[in-house]
Amino acid sequence: MFQKIKPKKISDEVYEQIKSIILSGKLKPGEKLPPERELALELGVSRTALREAIQRLDAQGFIYQVHGGGTFVKTITNGILDSAIEEFVKRDEAIFDLMEIRKILETWGAYTAAQRATEEEISNMEKFLNEMFIAKERGEIGHLSDANFHLAISHATHNVMLIHLMKNLFYWIEKVSYEVRSRMYTNPESHADLYQQHTDVYIAILERNPEKAYNKMLTHMEYIVCELNRIFKKNKKI
Amino acid sequence: MFQKIKPKKISDEVYEQIKSIILSGKLKPGEKLPPERELALELGVSRTALREAIQRLDAQGFIYQVHGGGTFVKTITNGILDSAIEEFVKRDEAIFDLMEIRKILETWGAYTAAQRATEEEISNMEKFLNEMFIAKERGEIGHLSDANFHLAISHATHNVMLIHLMKNLFYWIEKVSYEVRSRMYTNPESHADLYQQHTDVYIAILERNPEKAYNKMLTHMEYIVCELNRIFKKNKKI
DNA sequence: CTCTGCTTATTGGTATTACCAAATTATATA
DNA sequence: TATATAATTTGGTAATACCAATAAGCAGAG
């Protein structure tokens, strides 16, 4: 009934106004904003509050500033700059933290999928497995099918939290798959190894063998971590 | 041959330093940064330059500020969990899916904490364990200490992603603890059982026994799920 | 007329000081 | 022990000053 009142900072209001003007097209990419001192007067605020708004606009990729030159609207084709989670996952170290999380979630996921998967869900896994095979034969990377295969397994757990988690992590799962797969692009044997590992997981789920599914997924995850260690030339405790 | 020289603003350097500290896990979600005047002195910059850095960190989702209260590290994994959390809000039963995920994350967490915990982290766990004891003696519910104890274990894994995820889930962990504990409020024996389970986990970590820590946490989690089943009078596949 | 170098003006970046306002903590009182 | 009040802490904004990078204007040489 009652909404919590969140008082707005002056710099927040300035930020919203300038952002709105940019997004509406009134200020176009490359165009210059009025000089800070002038704009502050126009808005009826101090340079401090204006600059704080401008820092936020800068951080999110709307504008850029040239010392002594002026403040300009950025072209938005580059998109908004990375959020905190994107900055976080971008780092090599975070990939290993993510792999630790994935290992525990996805081994359990395989175990539980072997118990709970419907025929349709198993078919869905097979579909992505087939796509990986085709990609292998064609010399394609196949990272999208790989990530989708893992997502299909999480669906088969019927755990809505895991499904949401895996869906939201999908972009980074795909990225990891890409990193690993593009390195073994030229090595058909590794490609075949990877395909075999996914097949082993699939067969264990098909056989309704939870322990086997768990172990096969564990083997796969550890293989990925090894490859990542090789790629990043790092040693991380797992 | 020649690289374009991009001079760094002071506020950019401040931003990079604070960001790095957060991403590395040295500052954990919910933790407070030093007050601005103090931090500016420490960094040897003006409050103006510091605040400009802080606005950028805020804009990207690393930190948040409370007027009169302080500057705090934000949970970075909000985007990963928001849609899953919406499920709990909609359906009470979804809490069982959360418990499944907690079971696997926290058993691994206990295992890994037993391997990696520093003395300070173990002390921190003990602090919350003591608070639970005092709550038990005083006939208080003690759900906040309970949830903090679990969070402290996740801190000891040194997995930054898990730390943020567990902090995101803190409210729900606390809520589960409250539901379970307030039912056994009048039953001193159950209260003692719960305290004992937490103590067992703590001792296993103190003893640096990963397998034992894992098993004690598993026992604890299964106990909680049983209690929740009783409370919800529901039968859910585990 | 064009190019180069120098000077001046403009504009972003930071520092300092002061004060306001919201939250937190400490203290006094019922 | 609980509540109300006062004091302190801490973020938010304003004003002023000055530094530093860029842009624009101008003079002189070729």
Q: Looking at residue A109, what is its pLDDT?
A: 97
Q: Is the CB of A7 under 7 A from strand D?
A: no
Q: Reply yes or no on whether the pLDDT at A13 is more than 50.
A: yes
Q: Looking at residue A79, what is its pLDDT?
A: 59
Asked if residue A230 lies in contact with residue A224, where contact means CB atoms within 8 angstroms, the answer is no
Q: Looking at residue B98, what is its pLDDT?
A: 93
Instruction: Give mean pLDDT, residues B110-139.
Output: 92
Q: Reply yes or no on whether the pLDDT at A237 is more than 60.
A: no
Asked if residue B213 lies in contact with residue B108, where contact means CB atoms within 8 angstroms, the answer is no
Average predicted confidence (pLDDT) for chain B:
90
Instruction: Give mean pLDDT, residues B210-228.
Output: 95
> Strand C nucleotides below 7 A of a protein CB?
9-18, 21-24
Q: Looking at residue B22, what is its pLDDT?
A: 95
Band of residue A84 on the pLDDT scale cut at 50, 70, 90: confident
Q: Reply yes or no on whether the pLDDT at B1 is more than 70.
A: no
Q: Reply yes or no on whether the pLDDT at B4 is more than 80.
A: no
A160 touches chain B (CB under 8 A): yes
The residue among B96, B101, B106 with the most chain A CBs within 10 A of its CB, best to mutate, is B101
CA distance A47 to chain B (A): 11
CATH entry 1.20.120.530 includes domain B78-234: yes
Percent of chain B exceeding pLDDT 90 equals 68
CA dihedral B55, B56, B57, B60 (to 10 degrees): 120
Average predicted confidence (pLDDT) for chain A:
89
Q: Which of A147-161, B201-215, B224-238 bottoms out in mean pLDDT, i.e. has the lowest?
A: B224-238
Band of residue A238 on the pLDDT scale cut at 50, 70, 90: very low
Percent of chain A exceeding pLDDT 90 equals 66
Q: Looking at residue A185, what is its pLDDT?
A: 66
Give A77 or A22, the one with higher predicted confidence: A22
Percent of chain B exceeding pLDDT 70 equals 95
The closest CB to that of B101, out of A11, A84, A162, belongs to A162
Q: And the tokens for B50?
A: 């510091």
Q: Measuring CA to CA, which residue among B138, B133, B151, B152 is closest to residue B194?
A: B133
Q: Is the CB of A11 under 7 A from strand D?
A: yes
Q: Measuring CA to CA, which residue among B222, B203, B4, B225 is closest to residue B117?
A: B203
Q: How far apart are the first and last CA of chain B?
A: 62
Domain boundaries, chain A: 10-73, 78-234
Q: Reply yes or no on whether the pLDDT at B235 is more than 50.
A: no
**Which pLDDT tens digit goes with each residue over B179-192?**
888 877 667 778 88
The length of chain B in residues reads 238
Give A6 or B36, the one with higher predicted confidence: B36
Q: And the tokens for A181?
A: 């797969």
> How much is the CA Rg of chain A, to the nearest whole Å?
24
Which own/partner pairs from B165-170 qualify as long-range (CB within 8 Å, at least 24 positions apart)?
A: B165/A101, B165/B77, B165/B80, B165/B81, B165/B105, B166/B105, B166/B109, B167/B28, B167/B29, B167/B30, B167/B75, B168/B29, B168/B75, B168/B77, B168/B78, B168/B80, B168/B81, B168/B85, B169/B81, B169/B98, B169/B102, B170/B30
Band of residue A236 on the pLDDT scale cut at 50, 70, 90: very low
Query: Which residues 25-44 on A are within 7 A of strand D at the CB atom?
Result: 44
Q: How far apart are the first and last CA of chain A?
A: 49
Question: Which residues in chain A are contacts of B84 at CB distance < 8 A?
Answer: 160-161, 164-165, 168
pTM of the model: 0.89
**Phi and psi angles of residue A140, each rounded to the nearest 5 degrees, phi first:** -95, 165
Q: Looking at residue B237, what is its pLDDT?
A: 46
Q: Reply yes or no on whether the pLDDT at A234 is more than 90.
A: no
**Phi and psi angles of residue B218, each rounded to the nearest 5 degrees, phi first:** -60, -50
Instruction: Say how many C-beta atoms besides its own lie within 10 A of residue B113's C-beta.
Output: 29
Q: Which of A76-90, A129-143, B57-71 bottoms out in mean pLDDT, i.e. has the lowest?
A: A76-90
CB contact under 8 A, B60 and A55: no
Write the CB contacts of A236 (distance below 8 Å, at least 6 apart in sequence): A93, A96, A225, A229
Q: Reply yes or no on whether the pLDDT at A235 is more than 50.
A: no
Residue B102: in which H helix or E strand, if any? helix B94-116
Instruction: Say how many C-beta atoms besides its own lie within 10 A of residue B36's C-beta.
Output: 15
Q: Looking at residue A229, what is its pLDDT?
A: 87
Instruction: Give mean pLDDT, residues A178-192.
Output: 79
B161 touches chain A (CB under 8 A): yes
Whether complex ipTM tops 0.90: no
Which protein residue has its CA closest to C1' of D8? B68
Q: HEC string of chain A?
A: CCCCCCCCCHHHHHHHHHHHHHHCCCCCCCCECCCHHHHHHHHCCCHHHHHHHHHHHHHCCCEEEECCCEEEECCHHHCCCCCHHHHHHHCHHHHHHHHHHHHHHHHHHHHHHHHHCCHHHHHHHHHHHHHHHHHHHHCCCCHHHHHHHHHHHHHCCCCHHHHHHHHHHHHHHHHHHHHHHHHCCCCHHHHHHHHHHHHHHHHHHHCCCHHHHHHHHHHHHHHHHHHHHHHHCCCCCC
Instruction: Give mean pLDDT, residues A193-221.
Output: 96
**Greatest C-alpha distance within chain A:** 73
Band of residue A54 on the pLDDT scale cut at 50, 70, 90: very high
Q: Alpha-carbon distance A231 to B204, whole Å?
A: 36
Q: Alpha-carbon distance B156 to B110, whole Å?
A: 9
Question: Which residues in chain A are contacts of B100 at CB distance < 8 A?
Answer: 108, 112, 159, 161-162
Name the nucleotide nearest A9; use CA and C1': D12
Instruction: Give mean pLDDT, residues A161-183.
Output: 89
CA distance A211 to chain B (A): 15
Q: Reply yes or no on whether the pLDDT at B159 is more than 90.
A: yes
Q: Measuring CA to CA, which residue among B176, B183, B190, B174 is closest to residue B136?
A: B190
CATH number of A10-73, picked from 3.40.190.10, 3.90.870.10, 1.10.10.10, 2.160.10.10: 1.10.10.10
Q: Looking at residue A112, what is its pLDDT?
A: 97
Q: Which of A116-120, A135-139, B200-204 bottoms out in mean pLDDT, i.e. has the lowest?
A: A135-139
Residue–nucleotide distance: B54 CA to C7 C1' (Å): 38
Give A186 or A151, the one with higher predicted confidence: A151
Q: Looking at residue B120, what is its pLDDT?
A: 94
Q: Report the residue of chain A nearest B94, measured CA to CA.
A: A160
CB contact under 8 A, B161 and A88: yes
Q: Looking at residue A85, what is its pLDDT?
A: 87
